[in-house]
Structure 1
């Protein structure tokens, strides 16, 4: 057990927390924590309001306990989906695997340490979902101290079983397939499959929530005739979640301790099964993970000349950045494909509703009012701005270099050109998101050509603004120490900065338009002038101060 703890500590030290910065940079840490709070608090506040309303509604029919069951079940499902990616990253694609295998460590030590590290990552996910749920339920129900003690224990146990199941699925797959030779392709396919599952669940719940087959009266009648009927129904989403919910619902009784003990026993059994199966499955599947497959073909003179053709230095560097985004699975999923998929996924809540036609007609009616034309332009601008902020390409442009960042200091080109070249991929992907979102709006809302031109003209300065903010943030808080590419983008809190700034800037623009009541043309011109001036200031800051900041970064 001692070796497991030591090995876990070493792995966690190598995988630094996303909020850690260099020593002597206390103001950066404080600023980062403030931005985290600004980004997380509104989400938590919204969750608390929703849970509170659900509690009040279900309490009328004595089924408020279903909130806990549904929350635990959905959290377990999310942890299982994320767990597949974490298990692949920590167990198979981490760079420490080839160093640990020759060491005098028992299989259980390596498995236990890696499982603990993945479990810590899952606690970050669990606290976002279960924290507001448990606290809000406790406050609304007037629960005592026993409830909160049990809630802490349940919180610690909940991620175990989903992660065990995810680990067993991955180990079985990696053991009996030859996919490790095509690991880059498998990461992409696995990520797309996981995304498809999440999207499918989202569409299903949207469809059911907007359906008209089951009215509230029929649901209440069903629940009134079945004690804890809703709890039993919602906890079918994931095994074991009913035990966690019952342990909290009956807090303060001996029954709650029995349910908690049963839940703990299930988790311990799962860990034991994982360690036993991992001894036979993991090490056979992880062997040769550092190998890769390459196509062997003769490069003729014409193809070679095309590969080594002369280009301007800035363009060549920008193309290098662009290729890395497409060739690295973690960067492809989190930077490139997200720019394409997020605008498309935004259609799902609308199209999956049975009353989508009425909603589209209502939006068209509002847009046809002359008094709302300026407001619609600002809403479009805010949507483009937030969409650009959700793209983490520019804000991780330096972090993605990792320990190889120092090679930038050896290139025969000015730092100014390097920074501007790093800005190029983010701008292109943000523009793609803007055009996709606008194309969807044109298709469904039948927008006029004048509106389209003004929306694009006002959106471009916003995209330049948010991408330059991202580069400046990454210059100040680069995350260069990571053991896998996923850490550079998924365990990096820098993207919160442009997201919070984008939300605030977009909200202020919409609020100003609502207060002033300007026309569509006047609103668009105001946005263009304002953000062009801001961009000029940010550009001067980037090209004058940026090279010095880049020089101070140590790879």
Structure 2
């Protein structure tokens, strides 16, 4: 037990180490935390509306505890599937696995230690979902200290069983399925599966007309399901006990179910340790093996005379496409917003009817609205903000290659711009063929958004080159616990958002061509000064990057 605690404590210190973090990092954390407050308020308002509507329907029939049961079961299913990619990365595909295997630890001790990173994701999702549900339900229920105590223990221990179930499935799969030689493909499939689960959940929600009707319809259905609580325990067994523990009308009844809930959790932890001891080492053996059957090709036949800039850009694009973590975060995630809009257009009649109302909207307003939405989509793409960090420990090789730092920088910028162009093409199809935006407004928008995309990449690379993350053991760590993408989005969105608001309300800017001219001048000026500043600092930053790490 002492070795287990020591290993876990060491991994916690390594994960949360503030060594090398300057005051700028702390300031960024503070600013971004403030920026997330409005999003949190909107999420709280949505949950409060759903829970209060459900409570009004279920309270007269005595089934109000179904609110907690449904909240826990949905959260458990979400945790069950979204934790699989992080478990795979942390348990099997991290680069420090071989270092720990040589240490005098039992397999179950390594499994407990490697659970840190996936558990952070699990508890992050739980804090966003479970805590607000318990809080708003407690306000409606008029609960007291016993409910608060049971709710706190539910938040602490409930996420463990979905996480353990995911870990058990992964360990058994890795033990008996020979997928170690296709680890990149495995991580890609797991990530895509989680993404489709999230998209599917949003589609189901969007298929309902509004929040109140969804809550009332769900409440009426729940009134007829007397065995619902017992049925959900077939999938996640601690839901029933946790729900009954939060019914505090009879205190000793609540305490008994709380003990049962904790007992189920202890049994699950014991199974986790037993399975880890039995299956972990067998699954991790040969994890570094490569694939077989690659063809031997003539190098000279594939060698052609190309510019250094385009060769480096091609190398960056291949790295992004061939690395599952980079492909998921830089390409797939950036397509989520356009893809989700496509879905809403087909399943929501009100949004689908938007095309018919465009004829009555001024072209200037259409251009500004499309431009602002596109800025948000482009700003969420982390390709530029991870341009330097993706190199990892191999960054030092750039210092010895016979390539100018400016060429390397432009290669990364071009690669990020090409990746973002995929989102631009999807938005072009969405605006032009689905929403039926007027053709001349669409052309003006396309010109502006191409320039805005270049600015987005300039800002992203500028942020990343000044504060890169080169020390990582798994590719997912390039994107986790980093504020660079959000910082770039805030700079881009609030900068152009302010300009769009001014142009929207200024009385003398009524013509779409004047609006286009002003936006074009601002974008061109921003490109000139941002690019000039980035080029001025690139030579010194290339040398100091390794020193900062």
Check whether TM > 0.5.
yes
Match of 1:314 among 291, 309, 314: 309
2:24 is the counterpart of 1:32? no
Q: Where do 5+ consecutive residues of structure 2 fail to align?
A: none
- Cα distance in 1 for partners of 2:33, 2:459 equals 16
Which residue number in structure 2 is paired with residue 151 of structure 1? 151
Displacement of 1:523 after TM fit?
A: 2.0
User: What residue in structure 2 maps to residue 194 of structure 1?
Assistant: 194
Equivalent in 361, 364, 370 of residue 374 of structure 1 = 364
Residues 375 and 510, structure 1, Cα contact 8 Å, conserved in 2? no
TM-score norm. by structure 1 comes to 0.89
Query: 1:193-244: per-residue Cα shift (whole Å, max 9, x none)?
Result: 222233223323332x2399x99877665556778x8877888874423433
Distance 1:502 1:298 in 2: 46
Q: Closer, same or farther in 2 for the Cα pair 1:385/1:285, shift >3 Å?
A: same
In structure 2, the CA distance between the partners of 1:130 and 1:476, relative to structure 1 (3 Å rule), is farther
Q: Tell whether 2:49 aligns with 1:53.
A: yes
Instruction: Supply the distance in 2 between the matched residues of 1:5 and 1:117 (Cα, whole angstroms).
Output: 16
Mapped contact 1:399–1:474 kept (Cα < 8 A): yes
Q: Compute the displacement of 1:333 (Å).
A: 0.9
| d(CA) in 2 for partners of 1:502, 1:114 | 37
Alignment partner of 2:115: what SS?
helix
Alpha-carbon distance between aligned partners in 2 of 1:428 and 1:7, rounded to the nearest angstrom: 43
- C-alpha distance in 1, partners of 2:524/2:247? 56
- 8 Å Cα contact 1:84/1:166 also seen in 2: yes
Tell me the SS of whatever aligns to 1:478.
Answer: coil
CA distance in 1 between counterparts of 2:330 and 2:218 reads 43
Q: Indicate conservation of the 8 Å contact 1:318/1:424, yes or no.
A: yes
Taking structure 1 as reference, are residues 238 and 284 closer, same or farther at Cα in structure 2, changes over 3 Å only? Answer: same
In 2: Cα distance, 1:528 partner to 1:198 partner: 37
Query: Structure 2 CA distance, aligned partners of 1:111 and 1:181?
Result: 21
State the partner residue of 1:326.
321
CA distance in 1, matches of 2:129, 2:249: 20
Task: Work out whether residues 157 and 267 of structure 1, in 8 Å CA contact, stay in contact via their aligned partners in 2.
Answer: yes
Q: Is the 8 A contact 1:317 1:421 kept in 2?
A: yes
Aligned residue pairs total: 540
**3-state SS of paired residue (2:397):** helix
Q: Which moved more, 1:142-151 or 1:492-501?
A: 142-151
Quick one: structure 1 residues 532 and 71, their matched pair in 2 at CA, closer, same or farther if it must change by over 3 Å?
farther
Tell me, yes or no, if the aligned pair for 2:458 and 2:530 is still in contact at 8 Å.
yes
Q: Does 149-158 or 230-239 show the bigger shift? A: 230-239
Q: Encode CA deviations 1:150-173: one digit per residue, 9 max, x unaligned.
A: 322211112211111101111121
Q: Corresponding residue for 1:165?
A: 165
- Partners of 1:427 and 1:290 lie apart in 2 by 33
Q: Which residue of 2 aligns with 1:10?
A: 10
2:405 aligns with one of 402, 407, 415:
415
Given the superposition, is the C-alpha separation of residues 241 and 337 from structure 1 closer, same or farther in structure 2, using an over 3 Å criterion? same
Deviations 1:25-83 (A, max 9, x none): 21332123312331x21221011111222233233231654443333222222221221
Say whether 1:129 aligns with 2:98.
no
Q: Secondary structure at the match of 1:188?
A: helix
Paired with 1:199 and 1:429, the residues of 2 have a C-alpha distance of: 21
Q: Distance in 1 between matches of 2:188 and 2:218?
A: 41
| Matched ranges for 1:471-482 at <5 A | 471-482=461-472
- The question of whether the paired residues in 1 share the 8 Å contact of 2:248 and 2:254 is answered with yes
Q: Which runs of 5+ in 1 are unaligned?
A: none
**Structure 2 contact 386–478 (Cα < 8 Å) conserved:** yes
**Cα distance, 1:346–1:446 mapped onto 2, change above 3 Å:** closer
* Superposition RMSD in Å: 2.8
| Distance in 1 of aligned mates of 2:235 and 2:356 | 40
TM-score (normalised: structure 2): 0.90
The alignment status of 1:291 with 2:266, answered yes or no, reads no
1:210 alignment counterpart: 209
For residues 472 and 37 of structure 2, the distance between their equivalents in structure 1, rounded to whole angstroms, comes to 28
Higher relative contact order (CA 8 A, sep 6+): 1
Q: State yes or no: 1:338 paired with 2:330.
A: no
Shift of 1:348: 2.1
The 1:424/1:156 distance shift into structure 2, 3 A limit, reads same
1:541 aligns with 2:533: yes
Q: Distance in 1 between matches of 2:430 and 2:444?
A: 16
The one-character-per-residue Cα deviations of 1:289-335 (angstroms, maximum 9, x if unpaired) are 011114343323xxx12444343322222221111101111101111
Kindly indicate whether the alpha-carbon contact (under 8 Å) linking 1:16 and 1:481 is maintained by their aligned counterparts in 2. Answer: no
CA contact (8 A) 1:231 1:242 kept: yes
CA distance in 1, matches of 2:511, 2:240: 56
